[in-house]
Amino acid sequence: MRNALRNSAVFFLSLPAKMSGKVASVRFTCYHHVFDDERIPFERQLKYLKNYGEFISLDDAVRMIRGEVPIDGHYYCMTFDDGYRNCLTNALPILHEQQCVATFFVVTSLVDAVTALQTIQSDDLAAERQPDRHMLERILGFFPTDDDLRVEFLTWEECRMLQEAGMTIAPHTRSHRNLSRLSVADVREEMRGSRADIAQHLGYCVPHIACPVGRPLLDFRPDVEPLLAAEEGFASFITSERGPNCQGGDPYRIRRDHLCAWWGNEQVKYFFSRPCHSPR
């Protein structure tokens, strides 16, 4: 009932909205999973967005925001968080068919974890690399306790497959901990460690990082983590603040709109028709 009411409200709010605004911008998507029954609506969303803009890579999007390349229209940068395996099996074929590139931000301590339960119980991971229970609950929405429960994450081999298919693998920290509650030293280790893990397994790591969950004040300190990302050599720090990114925006406070693959086009329209904010 709650979802039905919400969907109805969003539908009516979306009616006067316009996808093509006057201000050129880059919009980031933030998906987490594409389940088997979400493939058709996910494909429909991509086709819908292609009517209003061009899909570009993360590197190109950041260059535009930094002002190195002009933003001369409307662009979309596709991203997926956490590293679920269904992004390979279900999202990748659709991305290929629609000629879209995407970046997959992976929690490196969960890569190669057959199930979340096995990861949390594994003796193979060093103590400092064990994912925090509360963070795992935030990733999954629940904490796995049943032996037969399978929550599949990407393997490093599958990350290489995505890479070879033209997609980008980037760090989402090492253990998805709440950065706002960590010391500066621990935040640096989360950033450095995830970058080193990707470089070790895939040969190189792109200079971009997405904050776990990504809400200002709740998940990162606006005056701390973005600065640390810059000091650690990252070219961007990506959040979950909604809204478009315009020329001259802050590459260390990149906005992303969280989307669900099962949403209808009216929900995409509602969130993506919001006006561009002034550069920060």
Is residue 150 very low, low, confident or very high in pLDDT (cuts 50, 70, 90)? low
For the whole model, what pTM was predicted? 0.85
Q: How far are the Cα atoms of 25, 26, 61, 69, 107 from residue 72, in angstroms, in the given order?
A: 8, 10, 12, 9, 34
Task: Classify residue 3: in a domain, yes or no.
Answer: no
On the 0-12 / 13-18 / 19+ scale of CB atoms within 10 A, 217 is exposed
- Token pair 């306790």 in the structure block, residue: 145
Task: Classify residue 123: in a domain, yes or no.
Answer: yes
Position 133 scores a pLDDT of 56
Among candidate residues 100, 95, 79, the one with its CA nearest the CA of residue 257: 79
Contact 271, 257 (CB under 8 A): yes
Position 153 scores a pLDDT of 87
Mean pLDDT of 87-107: 97
Domain assignment of residue 224, given as a range: 25-272
Position 136 scores a pLDDT of 57
Task: Classify residue 7: in a domain, yes or no.
Answer: no
Task: Classify residue 191: in a domain, yes or no.
Answer: yes
Task: Classify residue 11: in a domain, yes or no.
Answer: no
- How many folded domains does the chain comprise? 1
Q: What is the CATH number of the domain that holds 49?
A: 3.20.20.370
Separation CA 129–CA 108 (nearest Å): 9
Task: Classify residue 280: in a domain, yes or no.
Answer: no
Task: Classify residue 118: in a domain, yes or no.
Answer: yes
**β-sheet bridge partners, residue 240:** none
Position 273 scores a pLDDT of 78
Say if residue 49's pLDDT is above 50.
yes
Task: Classify residue 95: in a domain, yes or no.
Answer: yes
